[in-house]
Each structure stands twice: as structure tokens, then as C-alpha cells.
Amino acid sequence: MPSAKYLIIGSSHAGLCALDAIRLQDTEGSVTLITRDESLPYSPTILPYVVSGDADPEKIFLRDQKAMDHLNVTFLKGETVTTVDTKAHSVRLSSGESLSYEKLLLATGATPVLPPVTGLEDEPHHVLRTLDDAMKLRTALENKHTALVVGAGLIGMHAAENLAKIGVDVTIVEALPHVLPDYFDEDGASLIQQAFSDKGIKMHLGCTMKQVARSNGAQLVTLNSGETISSDLVLVATGVRPSIDYLSEADIEVDQGILVDDRMRTSADGVWAAGDVVQAPGFFDSEKRLNGTLPDASEQGRIAGMDMVGDSALKPYKGGIGMNTYKFFGHRAFSIGLIKEANTGSDGREEDRVSAPDLEEDRVFSPASQRYQKLVFQDDRLVGALSINTDLDPGVMFEVIRRRIDLKDMKAQFVDHPQETGRILMTKVWR
């Protein structure tokens, strides 16, 4: 049986960052990297741009074969891991072959989940997670005029915008009352929704899809409100779940995802996991949860790699923080940390306020200029930052949160001039 000192399953952000961290310390130990994709490594985040044509599918790869050779890595494409045997320290591949490992990293990411909708499984529909999905969607769009996007999370919104940009008539259906519920509060979402409807995108918020059927070559979707929408194509983006099917018989603790500690170690000896596939400690409390963002996947991958190779510079994982940048129709937004927990809303609404009465917020909301800034504090520490069309630096805000910087008497200044004060703080912490 072929063997590898380091075996990495999954060649996306988490897997590649682990690979780099390992090679920084151990240039000799054998590494095998496996992906079930038929292509070189790429990021799922790029896919909406592949669909729209903004990104050339030939030029999206995160590494080429030369880079793999340079790092002395055995790269296996188009191979799916079907089982893991933690006692024998081996994995089995779809080709029937087995591979043994000394140290194993599971970085298999996430897979789309389909909502329970009558007819959905039998009707042609699209999802967007792999390059294959993107190419299928791209081809399907030729000579199609209308598309229905189900789910207004980041994936759905990115896809909807990019479809609209190539002239497709897009409708979005979202079960919650506003778009991007994971990242924006109602006021923030209202600005985004405005921009989308200005571009002619129709949104059915607070609605779910009940049934899908075929009628006259188009697909007829019925919503829970009774409304029906006819569309040439349906894209389902209602969420993802960790890809852990291959672990059903393995002796590794899983909940919704693979459970890991702050060094990305799983319950099994010699097995690490990182990225969208894990359920890791949170930043604001230690409860383990799914996070599913790209920066988190690379951070976790790097930590896993450092721990696998025994890098003494490793600093344990500080915990997942929900965050993202979001660019839409020429606007620029981001959201980091506890954004919705302290929502008073523009008219004093408190419906979003969750179990965190000690949070304090500072808001500047100006819908006329499509700008919104919200800073959330707990004592004298920043715990959340949201911006739409302001000059704030997301990376600086993230670091101020991540380092739990006690602003003390700088807090007033921070509230008045968050961009400058944040930048000054970062100059001070840099050595």
C-alpha cells in the first residue's frame, strides 16, 4: 500500500494552507494531496465569476502542476476518499486503492443541501460549489432568459448579481425576511435589496419554495404564499453542510461537522481537520460551531499544518468569527463579528436583539447616500463592525476585534474616527 507521511484530503484553501505550513518546516517528508475534482486546485468563491465570464476558467487555479512538483507533492486529481480507517491509519479511494498515512488532514469542505421541496429531486436544477457545477450552469445559461435563485445567502447573492450582469432576468426567493441574514441586519440588508431591485432583480422575501414542476419547457415554481414563478432555470443556494459522508464508519467524533480543538485536532490520533468541514470553537464563546468562510478555512488550514509538522511558532486558534466582504453592483460592504446581536434598528426596533444586553452600538445610517456604519462594543472592546460604502478597513477592524484590544480612553476617538484610530493602533502593534 502506498504511504504518505502527510496525507491531505481536499485541495482548496484549507488543504493548500496546511500544505504550505508543512513544507515551511519539513521539505523532505512525503506529502500526498487528494481532490475529487478533475482539475487543479481552485476556490469555490471564484465560481460566480466563472459563471458570469469575469474569470477565465483556465486561469483560476490556485496552484499549477509545476508548483506541486516544486513542493515535491504527489497530487491526485479525480480521486474520492470513500472511507477512513483511523486504527490502520489508512484511507480508501474510489479507485479501490488504499493509502496509508502517518498524519492525516481532512479538508473536504462543504456540499450544498437541498431544501425539502416537492419535485426538486426530479427536476433539473443547479447548485454552485464545484467547477463542474459552474461550467454546467454557464452552459445551461446559453439561450436562457430567466433564472430563479433560491436562497439569499452569499452564494445566492453573488450568483444572482452575476447572472443579472449577463442579462438574465433574475428572481430571488429567501425564507427569512431580508437578504444575507448571516451578515447584515435589516438596515444593512435594506440598502443591498435596494441596489438589487434598482437593477431589476425581483425578490420574494420571507417566502419558501414549495413545489417545482415543468410546464411548457420552463420550470414552474410554487411558493408557500401560493404565488407561482416561471423560470428557465433554478439555482438552489439554500445552504451547505460539511462533506463528511466518508466518515460514517470512521472512529472520529462528528456533530454537524468534524469536531476539532484549537489546534484542529480531531478525536482520532494522527487526524486533523480544517475548513468548511469542521465545527470549531467560536471566538465569542467556546461552543463549537460551523463557520464556513474562506479566511477561516485558510487560518484553520495553516494551524493544522503547523501542528502536524510540530512548528513551535504555532499560536492556537482564537476561535471563529463570522465575517465577510461583500461587493455588489459597485458598492462595497463588509460585516465582522457580533453585528445583529445589538440591533436597535433605525426606528428603535429591537426584534433582532439576542441574549447580549451588555453590547453597545454606534450607528451612522444614511440610506439617501447608501451608507451605513455600525460599530458594536462590549465594555471597551470592539466586537462587531459593519460597513456599507464607508472608508473603514475591514482587515484593521477584524484585527482590533481579534486581538481584543482594550480601547480604554481611546474609545471615544475610535468611535469618532474609526479608520484613522484603527490604523494607528495597527502601526503600534506592528514590530
Q: Are strands 31-34 and 3-9 parallel, antiparallel or unpaired?
A: parallel
318 near 329, Cβ under 8 Å? no
Asked if 81 is part of the footprint of ligand FAD (rule: CB under 6 A), the reply reads yes
Helices (H), 53-166: 65-70, 131-141, 154-165
Element (H, E) at 174: strand 169-174
- Least separation, in Å, of the C-beta of 333 and other proteins? 9
How many angstroms separate the Cα of 79 from the Cα of each of 35, 129, 329, 397? 6, 17, 38, 40
Residues that bind other proteins (CB under 8 A): 13, 17, 20, 24, 43-46, 49, 54-55, 59-62, 294-295, 298, 302, 323-327, 330, 332, 334, 336, 393-396, 398-399, 413, 419-428, 430
The answer to whether the CB of 215 falls within 8 A of the CB of 129 is: no
Task: Rule CB under 6 A: say whether 324 interacts with ligand FAD.
Answer: yes
DSSP letter (8 states) at residue 245: G
Question: Which one, 44 or 151, has the nearer CB to other proteins?
Answer: 44
Tell me: does residue 305 bind ligand FAD (CB under 6 A).
no
Spatial CA neighbour of 187 closest among 378, 396, 371, 383: 371
Site for ligand FAD in 215-254 (CB under 6 A): 243, 246
Q: Quick check: 212 and 221 in contact, CB under 8 A?
A: yes
The yes or no reply on residue 279 touching ligand FAD (CB under 6 A) is no
Single residue of 80, 190, 224, 230 touching ligand FAD by CB under 6 A: 80
**Of 129, 204, 288, 411, which lies in the binding site for ligand FAD, with binding defined by CB under 6 A?**
129
421 binds, among other proteins, ligand FAD, none (CB under 5 to 8 A by kind): other proteins
Pairing of strands 81-85, 169-174: unpaired
Q: How many residues bind ligand FAD (CB under 6 A)?
A: 38
Pick one of 57, 257, 281, 292: the residue that binds ligand FAD (CB under 6 A).
Answer: 292
Q: From the list ligand FAD, other proteins, none, pick the one residue 154 interacts with, judged by a Cβ distance below 5 to 8 Å according to partner type.
A: ligand FAD
- The set of residues, in sequence order, having a beta carbon less than 8 Å from that of 255 and lying 6+ positions away, is 279, 288
Helix (H/G/I), strand (E/B), else coil: 307: helix
Q: Is 110 in the site for ligand FAD (CB under 6 A)?
A: yes
15 counts as binding ligand FAD under rule CB under 6 A: yes
Identify the bridge partners of residue 222 per DSSP, sorted by sequence position. 211, 228
Tell me which residues touch ligand FAD (CB under 6 A). 9-15, 34-37, 43-45, 47-48, 80-81, 107-110, 128-129, 154-155, 158, 243, 246, 275-277, 292-295, 297, 324
